[in-house]
C-alpha cells in the first residue's frame, strides 16, 4: 500500500485567508505557494425546460433565469500539469452562493493528486443564482413577508429565505434542479470524453469529490450512468451519502423549518405515490436518472437494487462521515447503502473541536490552528490518496 499523502506544512487558517484574497470569479490566477493555476471556462446548459413542465409547473419560469443557464466554472490545474485523461469534479452543498469554503479543498486535491479539479456549480447555486438571492437587504424584505405569512421562525434568515420560499412554493424544484445538474454533468463528461473541451484531450474521464447534497447528486449520476460515461468513475464522499429520508435540512444555512417539513412530506408521500402510478412509463422510457433518484428517497424503495449498486461499486467509492453531522448523519449512509457496505467504504470521524455539517473546518479564533490542520489533513490526505490511484 502506498504511503498516506501528507499535507505540506500549512497553516490552514492562514492559507484560507490568502485564498480568499487571491480568488475571484472569472479571474485566472496562479497560486504561487502550491503552483496550482485557476482558469475559468464557459458552460451553457442544454436542459429541456419545456419537457420539465411535465413534473413542475414552474419550469418555464425557472428556465428564464439566465445566470443558471450560462455561467463560468473554475478549474484548478496542478503545477506541471499535462493533459492527463482523468479529472476530478468537486460538487458542493445545498444553498451555497460562493466557493469560499472549497478553495483550499480544490487546491489541495489538485496539488496532491496531480489532476485538474473542476468546481462545478449545482443549478441555481453559486454563480448560477441571481445576485438578488445573496443581497441581505432584498432578502430581509422576503424574510419579513415569509414571517408574516407563516409566523416567526428562528430557523429563517436572509441566507436561507430564497431557497425556503422556492421549495415551499414548489418542492418539485428539488428534483428538477438536481436533474438539470445531472444532465449538465452528463454534458460535461461527454465533452471531455469526445475531446471537444478546449483544454482536456479526447478520452478524459471524470471522478468525483462530493460534499453534502453534492454526494446525493454524484451517487445518482453514477447509478444512472447515462451513455456509459461513468463506467470507471470513482467517488469520494465527505459529509454526505445519506438516503433522503434521513437528511435533516433545517438550518439557517440551508432552509427553514416550514420548507424542510414541506419537502420531506412531499417526497415521502406525494412524490412516491405519483411515482408508483407512473413507474411503468419511466421504465418504458428508460429514464434512468429519475429511477435512480426514486431509489435514493427512502430505505425501503428498491433496497436490493440500491444496496447492490453500492456493493458492485467495490473500491470505486470511499467516504468520511462526521459524528456530529446532523444534516447528513452516518445512520443515513447506512440506510442508503446498507450497514455492511457503509462499514467497508466509510470512515466515521470526530474532530477535537466544535464543528458542524455546514462548517466542518470553522474559521474560529478559539480553535487551535494545529487541530484544524490535523483534521483537514486527516480528511483530504485520504481523499487525495483515493482519487490519485
Q: Does position 7 have pLDDT exceeding 70, yes or no?
A: no
Map out the domains of the chain with their CATH numbers: 12-44+66-129+172-247+282-388 (3.40.50.1820)
Joined grid coordinates for residue 364 = 474560529
What pLDDT score was predicted for residue 278?
66
What pLDDT score was predicted for residue 284?
55
CB atoms within 10 A of CB 91: 27
What pLDDT score was predicted for residue 51?
78
pLDDT digits (tens, 9 = 90+) for 198-213: 999 999 999 999 999 9
Average of pLDDT values for 82-104?
A: 93
Q: Does position 347 have pLDDT exceeding 60, yes or no?
A: yes
Average of pLDDT values for 30-43?
A: 94
What pLDDT score was predicted for residue 389?
80
pLDDT, mean over the chain: 92
What pLDDT score was predicted for residue 299?
96
Spatial neighbors of 78 by CB under 8 A, at least 6 apart, are 34, 35, 36, 110, 111, 113, 114, 115, 116
pLDDT digits (tens, 9 = 90+) for 275-323: 776 655 555 555 899 999 999 999 999 999 999 999 999 999 999 999 9
pLDDT digits (tens, 9 = 90+) for 327-342: 999 999 999 999 999 9
Burial class (CB in 10 A: 0-12, 13-18, 19+), 298: middle
What pLDDT score was predicted for residue 374?
92
Confidence of residue 189 (pLDDT cuts 50, 70, 90): very high
pLDDT digits (tens, 9 = 90+) for 39-67: 999 999 999 888 778 888 888 999 999 99
Secondary structure of residue 45 in the 3-state scheme: coil
What pLDDT score was predicted for residue 6?
47
Average of pLDDT values for 166-189?
A: 97
What pLDDT score was predicted for residue 181?
98
Confidence of residue 236 (pLDDT cuts 50, 70, 90): very high
Joined grid coordinates for residue 16 = 484560507
Amino acid at each position: 500500500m502506498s504511503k498516506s499523502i501528507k499535507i505540506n506544512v500549512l497553516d490552514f487558517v492562514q492559507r484560507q485567508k490568502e485564498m480568499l484574497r487571491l480568488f475571484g470569479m472569472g479571474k485566472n490566477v496562479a497560486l504561487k505557494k502550491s503552483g496550482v493555476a485557476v482558469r475559468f471556462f464557459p458552460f451553457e446548459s442544454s436542459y429541456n425546460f419545456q419537457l420539465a413542465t411535465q413534473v413542475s409547473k414552474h419550469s418555464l419560469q425557472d428556465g428564464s433565469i439566465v445566470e443558471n443557464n450560462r455561467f463560468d466554472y473554475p478549474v484548478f490545474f496542478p503545477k506541471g500539469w499535462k493533459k492527463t485523461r482523468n479529472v476530478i469534479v468537486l460538487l458542493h452543498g445545498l444553498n451555497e452562493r460562493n466557493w469560499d469554503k472549497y478553495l483550499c479543498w480544490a487546491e489541495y486535491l489538485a496539488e496532491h493528486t496531480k489532476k485538474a479539479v473542476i468546481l462545478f456549480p449545482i443549478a441555481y447555486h453559486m454563480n448560477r443564482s441571481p445576485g438578488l438571492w445573496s443581497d441581505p437587504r432584498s432578502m430581509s424584505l422576503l424574510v419579513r413577508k415569509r414571517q408574516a405569512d407563516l409566523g416567526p421562525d428562528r430557523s429563517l434568515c436572509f441566507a436561507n429565505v430564497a431557497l425556503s420560499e422556492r421549495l415551499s412554493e414548489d418542492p418539485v424544484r428539488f428534483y428538477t434542479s438536481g436533474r438539470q445538474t445531472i444532465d449538465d454533468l452528463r454534458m460535461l463528461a461527454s465533452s471531455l470524453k469526445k475531446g471537444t473541451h478546449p483544454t482536456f484531450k479526447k478520452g478524459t474521464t471524470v471522478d468525483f469529490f462530493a460534499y453534502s447534497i453534492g454526494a446525493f447528486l454524484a451517487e445518482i449520476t453514477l447509478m444512472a450512468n447515462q451513455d456509459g460515461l461513468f463506467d470507471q468513475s470513482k467517488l469520494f464522499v465527505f459529509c454526505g451519502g445519506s438516503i433522503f429520508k434521513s437528511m435533516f435540512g433545517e438550518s439557517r444555512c440551508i432552509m427553514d423549518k416550514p420548507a424542510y417539513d414541506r419537502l420531506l412530506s412531499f417526497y415521502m408521500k406525494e412524490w412516491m405515490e405519483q411515482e408508483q402510478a407512473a413507474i411503468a412509463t419511466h421504465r418504458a422510457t428508460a429514464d434512468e436518472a429519475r429511477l435512480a433518484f426514486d431509489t435514493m428517497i427512502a430505505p425501503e424503495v428498491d433496497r436490493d437494487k440500491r444496496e447492490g449498486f453500492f456493493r458492485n461499486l467495490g473500491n470505486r467509492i470511499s467516504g468520511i462521515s462526521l459524528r456530529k453531522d446532523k444534516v447528513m448523519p452516518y445512520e443515513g449512509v447506512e440506510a442508503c447503502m446498507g450497514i455492511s457496505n457503509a462499514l467497508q467504504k466509510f470512515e466515521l470521524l470526530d474532530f477535537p473541536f466544535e464543528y458542524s455539517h455546514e462548517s466542518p473546518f470553522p474559521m474560529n479564533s478559539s480553535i487551535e490552528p494545529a487541530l484544524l490542520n490535523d483534521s483537514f489533513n486527516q480528511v483530504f490526505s485520504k481523499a487525495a490518496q483515493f482519487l490519485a490511484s
